[in-house]
Chains A and B, each alone.
Chain A
């Protein structure tokens, strides 16, 4: 993808999310999107799995690379969150996935890596290549960096906060991300309280120049 196209996508991302433009995406991108919806999902899942890896979902899973055992961003519902109505990013996902796949093609070409034609190019990369590619997306001079910053934040929200769900409900259903963090349980009324919260004893000397209200002098 050439420079101006990338800028158009970022502009469309900003404009659509800001609600300024309902038809911010030009039709060529949208057409490409229709033909390859599952490729979009696969690419985004592979991206999320690179950020917060998880176990393969089934034998032969190639989208989730299986770099670890246990849950990762895909298991925590990252792609579902990206498509959620709270974040009107959904119409842009095909374009964003296409952008990542274009990066994968360029990455592979430079390194003479063969990409299987039956999968999205990013999914065709090994976990270590996915990792190297994703690291490069955050280069301060990279034109697309703001896109990947927002996308990463959203993936993080899915795993670390179960952002698509009420927290009490998510804990009740054993949300994989909250369970991985061992996020504490609420009281029966769904509110948190910690009656035990302090070692309760002096643990250091106070600064000699502390004012009556507890501030530095």
Chain B
């Protein structure tokens, strides 16, 4: 085995990895990025639900009580995500959760993060959308909100809307390069400055390095592109600084596996896991009512029938984000689309609800479904258990894994979900417009595409694994910059906040790199400028 070295080793190439990789490479460091998933680009992304296509770049990881959907490719979640790009409301940073005191680091408020949000919005870039960008599905939510006395907003997206065909295949990666994934900004800019991105490299451990001048040795295996559960070779790279960004499901597992060799890790690693309070529901819209109550009609004569049409996320109401309301009662209600692979989870009126005759008959009305995502305040009640043999979870099949996380929703989380369910019914069941039920928890428990918090920043060492500079407590030069670092659920989609926090963390990482003798430029412009 050859001895390889680098200045900065980045683990994972999603938001948390790509952003530090760019700034450190552009600043003059030797940067190596190890990414578990394959590398794909627009021409590789298919409009197909055949197994062996999308499930090569996105995983469903079933834990005990929670299932997580996450990207598995160069660019991470940004390649398969729906690009809704929202700032977390101010009150989120003031949350106390069940601790009874502020959870976020004192230095972090919405105002403190705003300059970093600004940068990310410019770099991706994010488009502020308007009504002509809102899909039929988003339009139904908006019109129903208005009729129920609520406001509703078009949702800003990291999409070049002039190139977007509204095909609704975002989960498969963007065939038209309209989605501004990290493959189009931070990552190519990092490579232009010499960063070495290695796909199909799965990190297993981070341990102290015996090489002088190098703090950490990162052990990885190389995965077979046709069968990710097969390993063809293994290696070690010695680094001065390590940025761990394997996502909120991957990061804690790597640290847990490395704990003994690192001489112990903070107790908060692998605790305080949050699914962002996500709660998905399906409204079975009555077409006649969409016409008579909401006054909607399409050029083809139908009133709605638009579930599969347009971008997955186009509209949301911010009316339940009242900063003066008590915790666990605030949430965003957002229109969303999932390809029919989640149809199993929708519930019909009768019993049984998610399978059987009535459910099958409800499928005949699939085009009239309206899928909704509530992002609520949960209790960070998830924990990670026994470490799997390799990687972040045990792979059962392509795109399917068995994870080690346990999530038992507390009564506070359940109450938050109940409130969101009630609000949805008030808007969407008014005068018989639809029948709305949350996804069944029988098949996949609670489902989230927004894992957070499993190695979080904070001021209190007992309840946060990281300092407010994202450094793992007690481990100088080892940083966590992905969704794991986010201390609480956000009541909005998290990517913009993960990215803004990663932008903000760069300064501390640069300082630490300088400590180890890597001289770096600090005035690095935004990628592509």
Residues of A within 8 A of B (CB): 13-14, 17-20, 50-53, 67-68, 72, 81, 84, 86-89, 131, 134-135, 138, 146, 149-150, 152-153, 155-157, 159-168, 180-184, 186, 190-217
Quick check: A131 and B136 within 8 Å, CB to CB? Answer: no
Q: How far is the CA of A89 from the CA of B168 in the complex (A)?
A: 30
Interchain CB contact under 8 A, A160 and B341:
yes
The A interface is mostly helix, strand or loop, or mixed, namely: loop
Minimum Cβ distance to chain B for residue A86 (Å): 4
B400 on the interface (CB 8 Å rule)? yes
Instruction: From known contacts A18-B396, A51-B356, A209-B318, infer whether A156 and B146 are also in contact, taking CB-CB under 8 Å.
Output: no
CB-defined contacts of A202 to chain B, threshold 8 Å: 131
Please name all residues of chain A whose beta carbon is closer than 8 Å to the beta carbon of B317 when the two chains form the complex. Answer: 204, 207
How many angstroms from the CA of A141 to the CA of B142 in the assembled complex?
Answer: 41
Interface residues, chain B, with chain A CB atoms under 8 Å away: 47-52, 62, 86-87, 89-90, 117, 121, 126, 128-129, 131-136, 139, 142-143, 145-146, 150-156, 165-169, 175, 227, 229-230, 296, 298-300, 306, 308-310, 317-319, 321, 332, 339-341, 343-344, 352, 355-357, 359-361, 363-364, 366-367, 389, 394-398, 400, 402, 442-444, 492, 496
In the bound complex, residues from chain B placing their C-beta under 8 Å from that of A53 are 356-357, 360
**Chain A, residue nearest B402 (CB):** A14
Query: Cβ of B298 and Cβ of A192 under 8 Å apart?
Result: no
Smallest CB separation, B514 vs chain A (Å): 33
**Distance in Å: Cβ of B117 to nearest Cβ of chain A:** 8
15 interchain pairs (CB within 8 A)?
Answer: A17-B396, A19-B230, A67-B357, A68-B357, A134-B352, A152-B443, A161-B49, A180-B363, A181-B366, A183-B340, A191-B165, A192-B165, A192-B168, A193-B167, A216-B87
Name the one of A89, A156, A198 contacting B344, with C-beta atoms under 8 angstroms: A156
Q: Which of B151, B166, B340, B389 has the most CB of A within 10 A?
A: B340
Query: Are A168 and B47 within 8 A (Cβ)?
Result: yes
Docked-complex contact A214 and B156, CB < 8 angstroms: yes
Most buried by A among B153, B155, B398: B153
Bound form: Cα–Cα A205–B395 in Å: 47
Instruction: Return chain A residues, CB-CB under 8 Å to B86.
Output: 214-216
Say how far B174's CB is from chain A's closest CB, in angstroms: 12
Contact among B48, B132, B340, B361 with A198 in the assembled complex (CB-CB below 8 Å): B132
Set of chain B residues within 8 Å of A162, measured between Cβ atoms: 49-50
Residue of B nearest to A86 (CB): B51
Q: Are B168 and A149 in contact (CB-based, < 8 A)?
A: no
- A166 to B46, alpha carbons, bound, how many Å? 10
Flag if B50 contacts A72 (CB, 8 Å): no
Known: A161-B340, A181-B363, A203-B139. A17 touches B397 (CB 8 A): yes
Q: Which residues of A contact B321 (CB under 8 A)?
A: 216
Q: Please tell me if the beta carbons of B128 and A199 are within 8 angstroms of each other in the complex.
A: no
Q: Complex formed: what's the CA distance from A164 to B55 in Å?
A: 13
Give B347 Cβ to nearest chain A Cβ, in Å: 13
Cα separation A156 to B412 with both chains bound (whole Å): 32
User: Closest Cβ of chain B: how far from A130's Cβ, in Å?
Assistant: 10
Q: Are B397 and A88 in contact (CB under 8 A)?
A: yes
- Dominant SS among interface residues on chain B: loop
* Cα-based distance from A167 to B299 in the complex (angstroms): 26
Least CB distance, A93 to chain B, in whole angstroms: 14
In the bound complex, residues from chain A placing their C-beta under 8 Å from that of B396 are 13-14, 17-18, 150
Contact B443 A191 (CB under 8 A): no
Give the distance in Å from the alpha carbon of A81 to the alpha carbon of B51 in the complex: 10
A165 to B51, CA, bound (A): 8
A-B contact count (CB 8 A): 231
Complex interface: chain B residues within 8 A of A159 (CB): 343
Query: Of A183, A203, A208, A213, which is within 8 A of B87 by CB?
Result: A213
Question: Is B166 a contact of A197 with CB atoms below 8 Å?
Answer: yes
Distance to closest chain B CB from A22 (angstroms): 12
**Residue with the highest number of chain B CB atoms closer than 10 Å, among A72, A146, A211:** A211
> Could you tell me the distance in whole angstroms from the C-beta of A166 to the nearest C-beta in chain B?
5
Say yes or no: A216 contacts B89, CB within 8 Å: yes
Measured CA separation A14–B402 after assembly (Å): 8
User: Are B319 and A207 interface neighbours, CB within 8 A?
Assistant: yes
- Asked if residues B128 and A197 are in contact (CB atoms below 8 Å), the reply is no
Given contacts A14-B402, A160-B344, contact A200 B132 (CB under 8 A): yes
- Which A residues are CB-close (under 8 A) to B227? 19
Given contact pairs A210-B153, A214-B156, A198 touches B136 in the complex (Cβ within 8 A): yes
- A161–B339 contact, CB under 8 A? yes
State whether B298 touches A86 (Cβ < 8 A): no
CB pair A214 B155 closer than 8 Å: yes
B153–A194 touching, CB < 8 Å: no
| Interface pair B167/A192, CB less than 8 Å apart | yes
Q: Closest Cβ of chain B: how far from A121's Cβ, in Å?
A: 20
Within the complex, what minimum Cβ distance (angstroms) separates A137 from chain B? 9
B136, A199: Cβ atoms closer than 8 Å: yes
CA distance A211 to B117 in the complex (A): 12
Chain B residues with CB under 8 A of A17: 395-397, 400
Question: Do B343 and A160 have beta carbons less than 8 Å apart?
Answer: yes
Contacts A152-B443, A198-B135 given; indicate if A163 touches B51 (C-beta within 8 A): yes
Selected contact of B153 from candidates A72, A199, A214, CB within 8 Å: A214
Least CB distance from A195 to B in Å reads 8
**In the complex, what distance in Å separates the CA atom of A76 from the CA atom of B51?**
15
Bound-state CA distance A149–B444 (Å) is 7
| CB-CB nearest 4 A-B residue pairs | A156-B344, A204-B152, A214-B156, A203-B142
Please give, as numbers and ranges, the residues of chain A lying within 8 Å of B90 by CB-CB distance. 217
Residues of A within 8 Å of B444, CB to CB, are: 149, 153
Are A214's CB and B154's CB within 8 A? Answer: yes
Would you call A199 and B298 a contact (CB within 8 A)? yes
Q: How far is the CB of A210 from chain B (nearest CB, A)?
A: 6
A18-B395, A87-B51, A206-B151 given; A193·B366 CB < 8 A = no
B51 engages A157 (CB within 8 Å): yes
C-alpha gap A150/B394 in the complex (Å) = 14
Contact A190 B47 (CB under 8 A): yes
Say whether B344 contacts A163, CB under 8 Å.
no
Q: Find A204's partner among B145, B300, B332 (CB 8 Å cutoff).
A: B145
Please determine whether B357 and A183 come into contact, CB atoms closer than 8 angstroms. Answer: no
| Inter-chain contact B318/A194, CB cutoff 8 Å | no
Residue of A nearest to B369 (CB): A181
Q: Is the pair B400, A150 in contact by a Cβ cutoff of 8 Å?
A: yes
- List the B side residues contacting A196 at CB < 8 Å: 298-300, 309
Give the complex CA separation of A214 and B494 in angstroms: 15
Contact indicator B156/A215 (Cβ below 8 Å): yes
